[in-house]
A = this chain, B = another copy of it.
């Protein structure tokens, strides 16, 4: 990841990956990084060092399943969501919206009481 808003990405990676897979169907690792890059106009760049541990953990937790397929002589590993993964994706998206609501309360500027003066 790059750019300045990356500190905020901490903790959102799992949600991004799960939701993307729930929406797009099966994808392989490289494809996930490219999809995130394209959809955000290059502003969010997932690193493999972050992505693969997340994919492996989600697989361990029963959120994802994998199939390996030979494409052009190379093994490619596809990841897709399980029903649990799909449900969790929806839950995490709701939680994120709730979190943004709380953050807005904390970060909003105080109302300018002198405006009517």
Interface of A toward B, CB cutoff 8 Å: 4-5, 7-12, 14-16, 19-20, 23, 36, 39-40, 43-44, 93, 95-96, 98-100, 102-103, 105-107, 109-110
| A-B CB contact pairs (8 Å), 12 listed | A5-B95, A5-B102, A8-B12, A8-B99, A15-B107, A16-B103, A16-B107, A20-B106, A23-B109, A36-B106, A44-B102, A96-B103
Cα A103 to Cα B98 with chains together (Å) = 13
A7 B16 Cβ-Cβ under 8 A: no
Residues of B within 8 Å of A96, CB to CB, are 5, 8, 103, 107
Interface of A is mostly: helix
Contact (Cβ within 8 A) B8 A39: no
Closest chain-B Cβ to A100's Cβ sits at a distance in Å of 6
